[in-house]
Amino acid sequence: MSFSSDAKKEVCALPVLKAEREALVYGMLLYARSFSLKSIAFTTENRVVSQLLAELITGCGCIAEVTATLSRKRAGGMITVTVPDENDRRRLLERFGYSGREVNLRIHYQNLSDGAAVFLRGAFLSCGAVTDPSKDYHMEFSVAHMKLAEDLAAFLRGLQELQMEPGITNRKGAYVVYLKGSEQITDLLTFIGAHRASMELMQVKMVKEVRNYVNRTTNFETANISKTASAAALQLEAIRKIQKTKGLDSLPKELREIAVLRLENPELSLRELGVQLREPISRSGVNHRLKRLLAIAEEQAPDFDYGKKR
């Protein structure tokens, strides 16, 4: 199962109070494929979702018909829930304040007085989807009618419990209300009751953040190690040039000491070199002495150009 299917299965298993059932079936039907006097049709790939809606419609005193269609494109095929009787369709429409002849379907807020979260749960079951968080943070509602999409976006923005900033786009003839960002998605999943899905998303996000931090740290350390190794190699080459030409004994005492120490300890950092001197000095002090050795090597061996190699 996909992450989205698991989230829908989770919310389908939630207990619904008698006062909330109206809001749930309203959300599912209003955002179904069609909700009119001519046709009430709901399509889903999720068997549990189709069963829930059929039970809710039956609880409203109407008959629901469930049919399954096999598809080569979809492994499980599609399941359609319809209300075949026109009188039943009329009763359902009138139950929620519609005549069935509306040019534009709109949200009737009087149907949400006892269940804003449950209404959104129904809309999510009907036309919602949430991407696997290991791939992306994206949640959307694919709506057939522009006004319904605008109403849903406005409804999400108006929820005081949440801070939603939904966007709307058009995709293949449908109006898509979408949310980006893990915080918005986890908040909405929690709001509609998908606590397990919300927790899984947060866990995936934490793993991603830790992995990214480790990668950044490793890359930074690798770059520093490479830079340090290159600098040490250049220092060693300079010291050996001096050793072959005039010899290390020609150097001032403090430079001779750091030169010998570097030859014996090519892997040490500048700070570690400074600590091992007879009279310890800072990292910047070690760096200054090594630069003097590089300059001397260039003077004594014209073929050694430390300025270009640095």
Distance CA 153, CA 151 (A): 5
DSSP per position, 220-283: HHHHHHHHHHHHHHHHHHHHHHHHHHT-GGGS-HHHHHHHHHHHH-TT--HHHHHHHSSS---H
Count CB neighbours of 242 within 10 A: 23
Under 8 Å CB-to-CB from 45, ≥6 apart: which residues?
Answer: 5, 74, 76, 77, 78, 79
| 305 pLDDT above the threshold of 70 | no
Distance CA 150, CA 166 (A): 10
In this predicted structure, what is the pLDDT of residue 301?
63
Its CATH class, for the domain covering 3-203, is alpha beta
**Arithmetic mean of pLDDT, 255-284:** 88
- Mean pLDDT of all residues in the chain? 87
Cβ proximity of 66 and 28 under 8 Å: no
56-108 residue pLDDT tens: 999 999 999 999 887 655 556 889 999 999 999 999 999 999 988 888 899 99
DSSP class of 61: T
Where are the domains positioned within the chain? 3-203, 221-309
pTM, to two decimals: 0.70
171-194 residue pLDDT tens: 988 999 999 988 899 999 999 999
**Arithmetic mean of pLDDT, 281-286:** 92
3-54 residue pLDDT tens: 999 999 999 999 888 888 899 999 999 999 999 999 999 999 889 999 999 9
Distance from the first to the final alpha carbon of the chain: 56
| 308 pLDDT above the threshold of 60 | no
190-229 residue pLDDT tens: 999 999 999 988 888 888 777 777 777 777 777 777 777 7
